[in-house]
Amino acid sequence: MTFREELHRRAGDLGRRVVLAEAGEERVREAARLIEGRIGQVVAIDHAASDHRRRAVADLLHERTGGALTTAEIERLVGDPVWLAAGLVATGQADCAVAGAACPTANVIRAALRLIGPAPGTTRISSAFYMIVPWGSGERVLTFTDAGVNPDPDAVEMAEIARAAAHDRRYIVGDEPVVAFLSYSTKGSADGPRVDKVRMAAEQFQAVEPDIVADGELQADAALVPSIAEQKAPGSAVRGNANVLVFPDLDSGNIAYKLVNRLAGGTAIGPILQGLAKPVADVSRGASPSDIADVAAVAVLQAARLNR
């Protein structure tokens, strides 16, 4: 069974409710047919402006904004399908939401932050892609983070992004995270502020997550290839077996996932938002129905982890 097949099966066993924000889009309607009964129960939003579920979401938005918004402003927001979808999750009318097929990532995050907010102990929302890459005669699943949200995180922020990705991976992939903080340098082969940032991020992470295997700074080959790790980073705990790759900035993460996707035959699932109290998933505006279904399956597993 492939990772995608196993992902869908595990999500389907949970029987969760998945709200699709943009069910007026043909791609999303096709995704709904893939999701219903196989990955979860679909809660569709076709016309948010007339949806009877708006009232509870409007009341919550009024409460969460402390009366700072006028009634007209609240009505305008809950008339947006992305905001209504986040609100349905926030009010318990759905377990997770999928949005973004017809709007930018920033809109999805804005709605999720206002209506749901970050998980306890989280200060920064981030994202990850789950990259399924050909590996020998099979496949390997790698987490790329952050490749969709934070342009230039500092060391503390990188460590928090890595923590979110590592904890999510345990439930989404089902294995133990091995975390590599990536750089153009391996263990002092170069120096400079960018290298220092990555090294500090690895130290910050290891201080708060001593039981998760991690190391940095590492070049990508030293993170992924045991024979090269032995030469470049002898004694590294990662030993070339990284499955969570933490990029130093959004440029490198986004470029890397697209190159792997387009040139190496890799399949990208994501972007998966990390750090929310309840899951709202973002999809690319170019996402296919199967892409949307994959992201929905991940969001279902996130919901199970957050509600366990």
Residue 74 scores a pLDDT above 90: no
- Looking at residue 49, its pLDDT comes to 65
Report the distance separating Cα 41 and Cα 46, nearest Å: 16
pLDDT confidence band for 46 (50 / 70 / 90): confident
Could you state, in order of their start, the residue ranges of all structural domains in the chain? 3-117+277-306, 126-263
231-273: per-residue pLDDT in tens?
Answer: 999 999 999 999 999 999 999 999 999 999 999 889 999 899 9
Can you tell me whether residue 177 is helix, strand or coil?
A: coil
Can you tell me whether residue 130 is helix, strand or coil?
A: strand
Q: Does the model's pTM come out above 0.85?
A: yes
Contacts of 106 (CB under 8 A, 6+ apart): none
Between 21-30, 43-52, 229-238, the lowest mean confidence (pLDDT) is in 43-52
Please say whether the beta carbons of 93 and 53 come within 8 A: yes
Residue 48 scores a pLDDT above 80: no
135-161: per-residue pLDDT in tens?
Answer: 888 899 999 999 999 999 999 999 999
How far, in Å, are 133, 140, 299 from residue 136 at the CA level?
10, 9, 29
92-126: per-residue pLDDT in tens?
Answer: 999 999 999 999 899 999 999 999 999 988 889 99
163-179: per-residue pLDDT in tens?
Answer: 999 999 999 999 999 99
Contacts of 91 (CB under 8 A, 6+ apart): 56, 57, 60
- Looking at residue 308, its pLDDT comes to 61
Please say whether the beta carbons of 269 and 142 come within 8 A: no
CATH fold for domain 3-117+277-306: Rossmann fold (3.40.50)
CATH class of the domain defined by 126-263? alpha beta
Please say whether the beta carbons of 182 and 198 come within 8 A: yes
- Please state, as a whole number, how many other Cβ atoms lie within 10 Å of the Cβ of residue 105: 18
What value does the mean pLDDT of the chain take? 93
